Amino acid sequence: MKTWLMRGTLHLTRADDLPLYTAAMSRRWIKASNAWLKFVQVKEPELWQLVDDIGGALDGKPMSREELIAVVGKGKPARIHEALRSGWGGMLKPSARNGRLCFGPNRGQSVTFVNPRKWLHEWRDVDPEVALVEAARRYLHAYGPATKNDFARWWGAWPGIGNAAWSGLADELVHVSVDGARLDALAADLDAIKGAMNDEPVRLLPLFDPYLLGHASRDHLFERVHAPKVSRTAGWISAVVLVEGSVAGTWTHTVAKNTMSISVQPFRRLTSSETAAVRKRAKELARALDQSKTEVSFA
């Protein structure tokens, strides 16, 4: 399923996980900031009414944004129509994170939306408190060791979200020290963390790879001087070269005439073994994209 989830950004998720995630992002937890409400010219009671209206309008059939606005905006003031048309998902995001909207099948070049509660064959309601704790448990299993602030930043940074999640996990957590910093991990994961091995020290991560988004600070991944090259304008996250878990550069690619051309912009001088590993990873990507040739250049 394609929808807006963590941090209000687009994600793909399994259909049977969507009830859990949206319960953990329900209005029990979401706090609309006064600045955002002022920007979209909507009062908080109006926001939640629109969320319900959008879910009601999506009665099981896919609808385009304009079709949805025509139904939901009927009889409402112009400012509501403007809010519904706002870019980057705008007013659709709260509906998505409350499980009232997700992307449906494309209609030609146009996107459509559906109500997942009616579109999916099965939908189960999940208690918001239970859902948040399970979301935090899954986060730590993937990104731990980490802190409750790391989780809150990754999840959406609503007031109290980290404290609530960590309180629910209290009996499952152990404190660990990483480079002098006190972090938390799931006790059940401790042996796996201690025994973790890096079988492939060099990797080519794609645009927006989740590996780069799991912690509030990325100082453990790259020096701050390189931050603008990784986190670019408009929330764009570059494709990166990973060496032993750290970002060693960025990369871009083009595909033409059965050839995948990769250009690497390293942050430091790569060793011969590292460049060889990059070329190996590039060939794997080319095969995945059905390209017979590979060209790799280093800036």
Q: How far apart are CA 86 and CA 220, in angstroms?
A: 36
Residue 154's closest CA among 105, 212, 224? 212
Looking at domain 128-194, which of 1.10.10.10, 1.10.1740.10, 3.40.50.1820, 1.20.140.90 is its CATH number? 1.10.10.10
The DSSP string of 218-244 is -TTTS-GGGHHHHB-GGG-B--EEEET
pLDDT given at position 247: 98
Residue by residue, DSSP assigns 88-139 as TTTTHHHHHHTTS-EE---BTTB--EE-HHHHSS------HHHHHHHHHHHH
Burial-class residue 42 by CB neighbours within 10 Å (0-12, 13-18, 19+): buried
- Burial environment of residue 264 by CB neighbours within 10 A (0 to 12, 13 to 18, 19 or more): buried
Kindly give the parts of the chain with pLDDT less than 50. none
Q: State the pLDDT at residue 269.
A: 97
CATH number 3.40.630 given to 202-298: yes
User: How far apart (Å, rounded) are the C-alpha atoms in residues 286 and 180?
Assistant: 41
Is 73 within 8 Å of 86 (Cβ atoms)? Answer: no
Domain boundaries, the chain: 2-119, 128-194, 202-298
Q: What is the DSSP letter of 63?
A: B
Question: Do 175 and 183 touch, CB atoms closer than 8 A?
Answer: yes
Residue 162: the pLDDT is: 95
Q: Matching CATH topology for 128-194 and 202-298? A: no
CA–CA distance, 112 with 189 (Å, rounded to integer)? 40
pLDDT at 27: 82
- Identify the pLDDT of residue 158: 81
Please give the pLDDT value at position 256: 94
What's the pTM value of the predicted model, to 2 decimals? Answer: 0.90
Q: What is the DSSP string of 19-46?
A: HHHHHHTSTTT----HHHHHHHT--HHH
Looking at residue 32, its pLDDT comes to 82
pLDDT at res. 238: 97
Tokens of 209: 């790879």
